[in-house]
Amino acid sequence: MPGTRWHRTLIGLLAAALLLAAAAPAAAQQADRPAGEDRRTALPPEDLWTSVQHDGAGAMAAPASEDGWPMPVLLLALAGAYAAGFVATYAPGLLTAADAPPRDRGPEPPPPEPVPATVTQTCTIALADGAFEAFVRDARGRRRVVCRTEPFDTVSDPLPRAGAAAELHSRLLDRMRAVGWEQEPVPGGAWYESRLVRTQTGRGRPPRVALVEARRESGRAWFAAVTLNGYARATPLGESPSFSPDGGDELEPDAAAAAAHAALLADLEAAGWQVAGTLGPWYASTLRRRGATARS
């Protein structure tokens, strides 16, 4: 680096000057001798043996010559010149680096996005007080009912899988599946005992879902749309015109049934709902609000 080369040159010049200054007294003594004196037999100068003298207090005096500088003075001069060169070379750079503004390293990288937590929820369907209940348990194990069907006749024991009981149980399962629950088998349990599991990302609630269901009464049939919260609790949303069913246990998509179903979907779409899929029977359409996404 330039500073190191500059220091070497300065040290060399000062060393040469020191040697010349030390040799100057000897040269002067040689010049002061008589011309006829034999230099081979000449005695060394007297001050060579008395270069170190004691002053009156007993301390040693610094060596000196009549025509030259004392040796300590020359050494101090050499050290001072070296220090001055070092300061002159490096001090401006140090000051400039200290006063300079911090270097711009560009924008800081964005922090990593937090990974949303995945929560697994469990719900159970059981028979209680003449109706089917869906319940969950909180952190302390306490039971909390989140959804309940309409009551029905339960005089038979065991409860047969037919009539109103089977229809209401099937409807509850369809509603639970519409909002993301999946049924798991319960070994050794009654046909209506169901265990459902749902995996949810984040702490938010899922968006509200609408479901189209079939209704029958007094020889007439119609379709009803309900909105469901995260635990399948239903709120009425709209109904189709009624029609005469064909008399079977399952509604067939004949002309009357299809027309009533299409009329209900048209009303829902006009209100901002959009068909998302079909769950189970052909008429069980699921709908979401147009543009709605899961809240997290």
Structural domain boundaries, residue 145 = 116-202
Is the pLDDT at 181 greater than 80, yes or no? yes
Q: Which of 56-70, 246-260, 271-285 has the lowest mean pLDDT?
A: 56-70
Do residues 105 and 121 lie in contact, with contact meaning Cβ atoms separated by under 8 Å? no
Note the pLDDT of residue 154: 81
Tell which of 202, 229, 264 closes a domain: 202
| Burial track 109-148 (b if 16+ CB lie within 10 A, e otherwise) | eeeeeeeeeeeeeebbbbbeeeebbbbbeeeeeeeeeebe
Q: How many domains does the chain have?
A: 2
The mean pLDDT value for 107-133 works out to 83
CB 217 within 8 A of CB 164: no
Confidence at 82, pLDDT banded by 50, 70, 90: low
Phi-psi region of 33 (alpha: psi -120 to 50; beta: other; left: phi over 0): beta
pLDDT of 51: 46
Q: Which of 145, 167, 202 is the last residue of a domain?
A: 202
Domain end call among 202, 235, 269: 202
Quote the CA–CA distance of 246 and 253 in Å, as a whole number: 10
- Give tens-digit pLDDT for 183-217: 988 888 899 999 999 987 766 666 789 999 999 98
CA 238/CA 245 separation, integer angstroms: 20
- Residue 212 and residue 198 share a domain: no
Together in a domain, 290 and 214: yes
Query: In this structure, are 213 and 235 located in the same domain?
Result: yes
Which of 117-131, 237-251, 279-293 is predicted least confidently?
279-293
